[in-house]
Amino acid sequence: MSSPESANGRVAARALRERLAELADLGTTIALLGWDRETVMPERGAESRGELTATLERLAHERAADPTLGDLIDAAALEAGAPDAPPDDGVIARIARRDRDRATRIPGELVVAIARATADAIPAWMQAREESDFARFRPHLERQVELRREVAGCFPDFAHPYDALLDSFEPGATTASVRDVFARLREGLVPLVEAIAERPPPSPLHGPFPVAEQRTLGLEIARSFGFEDDAWRIDDAVHPFAQSIARTDVRVTARWNEADLSGIFAVMHEVGHGLYEAGIDPALDRTTLGTGVSLGIHESQSRTWENQVGRSRPFWEHWYPRAQAVFPEALGDVPLEDFHRSINVVRPTLIRVDADEATYALHVILRFELEVALIEGTLAVADVPAAWNERMRDMLGVEVPDDRHGCLQDIHWSYGELGYFPTYALGNVVSGQLWAAAQRELPGLDAALQAGDCSQLREWLRRTIHHHGRRLDPPELLREATGSDLDPEPLLDYLREKYTALYDL
Alpha helices by DSSP H, listed for 397-488, are 422-441, 445-450, 455-464, 474-482
Query: What is the C-alpha to C-alpha distance for residues 469 and 288, in angstroms, rounded to an integer?
Result: 9
Alpha helices by DSSP H, listed for 250-327, are 262-278, 295-303, 313-326
DSSP state of 116: H
Pair 269, 220: CB distance under 8 Å: no
Best CA proximity match to 278, nearest among 255, 250, 303, 237: 250
Query: What is the C-alpha to C-alpha distance for residues 479 and 486, in angstroms, rounded to an integer?
Result: 8
Pair 285, 326: CB distance under 8 Å: no
Instruction: Classify strands 242-246 and 232-236 as parallel, antiparallel or unpaired.
Output: unpaired
b (16+ CB within 10 A) / e for 200-216: eebeebebebeeebbbe
Task: Print the SS3 string covering 147-191.
Answer: HHHHHHHCCCCCCCHHHHHHHHHCCCCCHHHHHHHHHHHHHHHHH
Three-state DSSP state, 390: helix
Pair 453, 150: CB distance under 8 Å: no
* 270 catalytic per annotation: yes
Give me the catalytic one of 170, 270, 299, 306. 270
Best CA proximity match to 297, nearest among 466, 103, 180, 120: 466
Query: What is the C-alpha to C-alpha distance for residues 473 and 485, in angstroms, rounded to an integer?
Result: 12
Please tell me the number of Cα atoms within 13 Å of 258 on its side-chain side. Answer: 4
Angle at 467 between CA 249 and CA 56, to 5 degrees: 45
Query: What is the C-alpha to C-alpha distance for residues 22 and 14, in angstroms, rounded to an integer?
Result: 13
Query: What is the C-alpha to C-alpha distance for residues 266 and 256, in angstroms, rounded to an integer?
Result: 9
Pair 291, 31: CB distance under 8 Å: no
Query: What is the C-alpha to C-alpha distance for residues 13 and 77, in angstroms, rounded to an integer?
Result: 8
Query: What is the C-alpha to C-alpha distance for residues 326 and 311, in angstroms, rounded to an integer?
Result: 18
Q: Which residues are catalytic, by number?
A: 270
